[in-house]
Homo-oligomer: A and B are copies of this chain.
């Protein structure tokens, strides 16, 4: 039996999403056909609307539906502290933890010569411009603790060591709730290197 062409196409398109295999794509496609038609059309419309309205903030390159995002436009944020992240998603993750009151800069990737990602393909020149136009006190480098993230962190450190008074890197060590037994040796090494005086307060 031939599955109707438009159903095959829908399954194929759904299977392009990350973490969605052929089987899940099929399940989702059928559910889109079995649900109320309006529900399915609402999803289609919200995809189109999100793509049409969401762009990169011209200042930090985070996601925004305005030219300048809420964070960059907020006078209550500390504009002299910039947190550098690889990906616009990271901003939402950090904001969710309510630990940072400065502003952000999205690099849109990390240096990876093997994948052809060199400093000039990232938003590093834009960060330089931004800092030249309005000097900052601290640059918090929050790239991922991966090979590429570390390389990028070192590159930024070198680049800004003369123009930014304080350059920090987020701590690497044991994740909260983690188990020593399952920590890899790299994480353990970082945790020992970064050990700090014991405080009696509980801060997990």
- What is the interface of chain A, defined by CB distance below 8 A to chain B? 1-7, 9-10, 12-14, 16-20, 24, 27-34, 37, 39-51, 53-54, 63-65, 70-71, 87-89, 91-92, 95
Contacts and interface: CB of A to CB of B under 8 A. Distances in A.
A17 B31 CA distance: 7
Contacts of A95: 1
Contact of A9 (B27, B40, B49): B49
A175 to B, nearest CB: 17
Given A1-B92, A30-B89, A10 B47 contact: yes
Taken together, the copies of this chain in the complex come to 2
A157 B7 CA distance: 33
19 contacts: A3-B92, A6-B50, A6-B65, A7-B54, A7-B65, A10-B49, A13-B46, A17-B43, A20-B28, A32-B50, A33-B51, A33-B54, A33-B88, A37-B51, A40-B48, A40-B50, A41-B48, A44-B44, A44-B47
